[in-house]
């Protein structure tokens, strides 16, 4: 069973101000109990581990932290992802993309998809301008 974005689902219990807060807290308690009693494999994903309450973390047997890839790993990710793109490509500087943009693997994938989509819709080759713009957009979406 997969709980994607578990921080949104398993948020901290709120102060009870009305019946909605009470129901939300009861539902969260029930869900945590069901996860704890679940016999199968439950995977909870989040990029905001600090937002998971202790009640949820205490029920997890194994925590796996996937750190942001370093420049060498980003270079490999860009290379593999762009090799799979079925859009005509111009001259691409993969080391430059890896050095300039500290992105996760998922962000690199989404940036490549966005750039490829724009290239296809505008009948042009996938080029550095499109990739740099898409990568910068991914960084800006983090709100850092």
Structural domains of the chain ordered from first start: 2-57 (no CATH), 71-141 (1.10.8.60)
Q: Are 45 and 4 in contact (CB under 8 A)?
A: yes
Angle at 138 between CA 132 and CA 142, to 5 degrees: 145
The pLDDT score that the predictor gives to residue 120 is 96
The answer to whether the pTM exceeds 0.75 is no
The pLDDT score that the predictor gives to residue 22 is 66
Q: What does each of the 144 residues of the chain score in pLDDT, given as a tens digit?
A: 887 877 777 766 556 566 666 676 677 777 778 878 888 888 878 777 777 777 777 777 887 888 899 999 999 999 999 999 999 999 999 999 999 999 999 999 999 999 999 999 999 999 999 999 999 999 998 765
């Amino acid at each position: 069973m997969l709980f994607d974005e578990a921080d949104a689902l398993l948020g901290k219990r709120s102060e009870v101000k009305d019946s909605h807060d009470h129901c939300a807290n009861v539902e969260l308690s029930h869900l945590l109990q069901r996860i704890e009693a679940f016999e199968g494999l439950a995977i909870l994903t989040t990029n905001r581990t600090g937002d998971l309450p202790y009640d949820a973390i205490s029920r997890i047997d194994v925590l796996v932290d996937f750190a942001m890839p370093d420049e060498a790993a980003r270079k490999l990710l860009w290379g593999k992802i762009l090799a799979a793109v079925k859009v005509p490509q111009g001259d691409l500087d993969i080391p430059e993309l890896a050095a300039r943009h500290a992105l996760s693997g998922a962000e690199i994938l989404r940036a490549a998809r966005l750039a490829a989509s724009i290239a296809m819709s505008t009948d042009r080759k996938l080029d550095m301008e499109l990739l740099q713009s898409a990568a910068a957009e991914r960084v800006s979406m983090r709100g850092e």
